[in-house]
Amino acid sequence: MKFNIHNVSITTSAPSQAHYPVSDLPEIALAGRSNVGKSSFINTILNRKNFARTSGKPGKTQLLNFFNIDDTLHFVDVPGYGYARVSKKEREKWGGMIEEYLTTRPNLRAVISLVDMRHEPSADDVQMYEFLKYYDIPVILVATKADKIPRGKWNKSESLIKKTLQFDSNDDFIIFSSFDKTGIAEAWAAIESFID
């Protein structure tokens, strides 16, 4: 399949199942800690400057954003997790919303799980990955901000991330940088493998 990215639009923002779009399009969800570079990833692979935005206050907008990509698929942008100042109640709301989506949505094909390549995955990152594997959801692991790490150390970072997550070798692992555009083709190839 060839992607000609001319038409991207927000289909809907949904807090729960009743509000998901009525659509047969396949869906690829995107999840990661606040500040991991998820909005930058979305904008970069869509070749847009300001399509996806981080909300000014992380944790405030607790909605799933469905982005229609050329009437071919939906990206489902999940609000970032791991923001320290979010209340327990907000965290529980977030957890319920994402769990409901991931466990009930037939359109879901895979989850792009973003982790910061500079650091060992956090407890939240590990928990998210374990959850996805528990439910047998394919993951495209995207290691962000690769430009911050010298190439000579990429292997070491990749190994640490895989070890900490107990990475499933069937999942895709993509080294990415929005700053120097590393990994765009690889990200699309992985996405397309779940769409055809």
- Residue 196, judged by CB atoms within 10 A of its CB (0-12, 13-18, 19+), counts as exposed
Considering the complex, what minimum distance in angstroms separates the CB of residue 36 from ligand GDP? 4
> For residues 148 and 163, which CB has a smaller minimum distance to ligand GDP in the complex?
148
- Rule CB under 6 A: say whether 36 interacts with ligand GDP: yes
How far, CA to CA in Å, does 154 sit from each of 113, 144, 158, 159? 18, 11, 6, 9
Which contiguous run of DSSP H or E holds residue 109? Answer: strand 108-116
- Rule CB under 6 A: say whether 147 interacts with ligand GDP: yes
- Rule CB under 6 A: say whether 72 interacts with ligand GDP: no
- Rule CB under 6 A: say whether 183 interacts with ligand GDP: no
What is the C-alpha to C-alpha distance for residues 117 and 120, in angstroms, rounded to an integer?
8
- Rule CB under 6 A: say whether 188 interacts with ligand GDP: no
Number of H helices, E strands in the chain: 5, 7
Considering the complex, what minimum distance in angstroms separates the CB of residue 40 from ligand GDP? 3
Beta bridge partners of 182: 177
Angle between helix 123-134 and 88-104 (nearest 10): 30
| The one among 19, 48, 57, 148 contacting ligand GDP by CB under 6 A | 148
Stretch that binds ligand GDP, among 23-31, 66-74, 93-101, 175-183 (CB under 6 A): 175-183
Stretch that binds ligand GDP, among 32-40, 105-113, 130-138, 164-172 (CB under 6 A): 32-40
Residues found near ligand GDP in the complex (CB under 6 A)? 32, 34-40, 54, 80, 144-145, 147-148, 177-179
